[in-house]
Amino acid sequence: MTTVQEIKAAIDTLPFVERAKLESLLRGTGISESLPAVKLPDQAARRRRILGDKILPNMVLQEREAESR
């Protein structure tokens, strides 16, 4: 198989299940199934632990408001 047409013809001859497996591998969806899920840290809990119930002002919005005046 050296040309795209030959590869496409070979893929077209595969059974549906095999083509679905090939497509999932090419798209990267088949890889994630074999890897364990990664537990992400709880950012909200971390923020509460560090700051408590304080709410920090949004400095970006304040700066934009100051610029528009």
Question: What is the model's pLDDT at position 2?
Answer: 80
Ranges of residues in the chain with a pLDDT under 50 are: none
Spell out the domain ranges in the chain: 4-34
Question: What is the model's pLDDT at position 37?
Answer: 78
Predicted model pTM:
0.37
Cα distance between residue 44 and residue 51, in whole Å:
10
Question: What is the model's pLDDT at position 27?
Answer: 82
Question: What is the model's pLDDT at position 62?
Answer: 93
DSSP letter at 14? S
Question: What is the model's pLDDT at position 15?
Answer: 92
